[in-house]
């Protein structure tokens, strides 16, 4: 360890305890400004950039508000597809499949792209995916909601095809 480091460690309390004399900081800053070693930075606010950013944000918000569909603009069929179905999970699935087959036959000529098949395609039917812990009534409610939504979508697509 050098003599300077040793001296600083031994006398650190004396060095840290005293505050600079009042006005010392101001005198130092004045001399520093006069020397020209420190450049003063002026902050220029670019109002044009801020205005453009605010205008873009307002346009996005207005677009979201205007594009967001209202409840009246969405046409939902909500037909009771399973009124005549047996109130078992298998009965609901069979009723869904019968409706789907009928809809496919009716729209087979118009649906050249196979969109209806895409809407209702299931690799594994939901009926087989439901946990055994659910009661049959719970399964029926889930299946009616799911397959009813799919059949509503098919009905809406058929309306579009008919136009």
Cα separation, 141 vs 52, whole angstroms: 52
pLDDT of amino acid 66? 80
Q: b vs e for 75-90, b when ≥16 Cβ sit within 10 Å of the residue's Cβ?
A: eeeeeebbeebeeebe
Q: Is 147 helix (H, G, I), strand (E, B) or coil?
A: helix
Contact between 106 and 94 under an 8 Å Cβ cutoff? The reply is no
Cα separation, 153 vs 121, whole angstroms: 13
pLDDT of amino acid 56? 93
pLDDT of amino acid 38? 67
pLDDT of amino acid 111? 63
pLDDT averaged per 10 residues in sequence order, the chain, 163 residues: 81 70 77 72 84 93 76 54 85 86 74 70 84 90 87 81 74
Instruction: Give the number of other Cβ atoms within 10 Å of residue 102's Cβ.
Output: 10
């Amino acid at each position: 360890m050098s003599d300077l480091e040793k001296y600083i460690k031994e006398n650190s309390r004396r060095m840290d305890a005293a505050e600079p004399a009042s006005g010392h900081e101001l005198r130092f800053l004045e001399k520093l400004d006069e020397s020209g070693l420190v450049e003063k930075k002026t902050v220029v606010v670019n109002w044009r950039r801020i205005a453009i950013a605010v205008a873009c944000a307002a346009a996005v918000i207005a677009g979201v508000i205007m594009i967001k569909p209202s409840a009246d603009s969405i046409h939902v069929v909500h037909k009771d597809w399973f009124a005549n179905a047996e109130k078992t999970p298998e009965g609901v699935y069979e009723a869904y499949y019968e409706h789907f087959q009928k809809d496919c036959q009716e729209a087979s000529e118009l649906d050249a792209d196979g969109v209806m098949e895409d809407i209702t395609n299931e690799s594994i039917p939901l009926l087989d995916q439901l946990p055994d812990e659910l009661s049959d009534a719970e399964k029926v409610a889930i299946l009616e909601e799911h397959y009813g939504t799919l059949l509503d979508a098919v009905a809406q697509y058929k309306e579009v095809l008919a136009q």
